[in-house]
Amino acid sequence: MACINRQLIAILHYLTLIFLFISLFPSVYAQAIFKRQVTLMGSVFEITVVAHDQQEADKNTDLVIAEISRIENLISEWRPETQISLVNRNAGIQPVKVDREVFELTQRALVYSKMTNGAFDVSIAAMDKIWKFDGSMDTMPTAEAIKRSVQYVGYQFIVLDSLNSTIFLSRAGMKIGFGSIGKGYAADKGRELMKRIGVQAGIVNASGDIAAWGTQPNGKPWLIGVNNPFKPHHILKKIRMKEAAVATSGSYEKYAEINGQRYSHIINPKTGYPSTGLTSVTIYGPSAEFANALSTSIMVMGAREGNKLLRQYPAYKGVFR
């Protein structure tokens, strides 16, 4: 009996030491949520990581920022030195060799165009001189100007050569841009990088295009709120996310107001006019890029056709308003 008692006392003593160690050095075991906001790709990104301390969080956040900056320096149509800008300058002249990553992103964009029958089209960038959504536009473009600009839009005229990894815009005056899926793609790539180096959980929020992984330190899933476009600061739906993504397209934050009427920044590629009918579309599923492509397309297609499209991809769900 005395031997058993001594063993129990030894076990209790050992457990007490472990408890004291954890109490004195909680950072060894405990994790917390760290957030940072930064402007990238012309938008506010909020990067959330779960880490043991600020130093670890800063190191991992810096890696995400570097990755998104790398992507921006490849695909921005606003920076003259990027590969996409070079493609645009050579529209109607010659094919341009690009990195495989840029080629494959463009290739997927054409797939999105075909599956939506042209409701999604990266060559809509050619209309950036017609419509301005930065608060400076106060008169409608003329019907003739819109008609002229539409002739430069058409995914069918984007020629890809997989063997040589080239992109050719076959009509002079064409332009492509990834404003519709670029931030979703960047969010996915940020998440991919963090998982690859062993960061257990976090969120890359690219101004509403969100890629999340893992759980909060308390084991609960991330909780993402979908705003009600008709009631500011009201949540329409709460989405619980672990390994998931969400993207929202809408006309309630970025628009042109002309003669008391709001015009969405999401343009119908076929007509050249802003989309009508829906105010916002939120899509959630595995990939932020694909969710972004769906949300943009459905804003153009409308609720009825949008629901038909969404039913083809059961891994994705939507909220329309």
Q: Is residue 22 in a domain?
A: no
* In-domain check, residue 43: yes
Distance between CA 83 and CA 74 in Å, rounded? 6
Could you give the 3-state DSSP secondary structure of residue 285?
strand
Domain annotation covers residue 243: yes
Residue with the bigger pLDDT between 146 and 231: it is 146
Residue 214, domain member (yes or no): yes
pLDDT for res 256: 85
14 falls within a domain: no
Q: Which domain holds residue 212?
A: 32-320
Neighbours of 6 (CB within 10 A): 10
**What is the number of structural domains in the chain?**
1
Q: What is the CATH number of the domain that holds 82?
A: 3.10.520.10
pLDDT computed for residue 6 by the predictor: 54
Known binding residue 180? Answer is: yes
Q: What pLDDT does 135 receive?
A: 78
Question: Is 170 domain-assigned?
Answer: yes
Q: What is the pTM for the complete model shown? A: 0.88
* Helical spans, DSSP H, in 132-261: 143-150, 182-196
296 known ligand binder = yes
Average the pLDDT over each of 61-65, 200-204, 223-227 and give the range with the smallest value.
Answer: 223-227
Q: What angle do CA 224, 227, 230 make, to 5 degrees?
A: 170
Residue 11 lies in a domain: no
**Which neighbouring-strand residues pair with 267?**
274
pLDDT reported for residue 15: 46
Q: Which two tokens stand for residue 129?
A: 């001189």
* Alpha-carbon torsion, ordered 146, 85, 154, 145, to 10 deg: 10
Residue 303 belongs to a domain:
yes
The model's pLDDT over 262-308, given as tens digits with 9 standing for 90+, comes to 888 899 999 999 998 899 999 999 999 999 999 999 999 999 999 99
Phi, psi of 274, rounded to the nearest 5 degrees: -60, 150
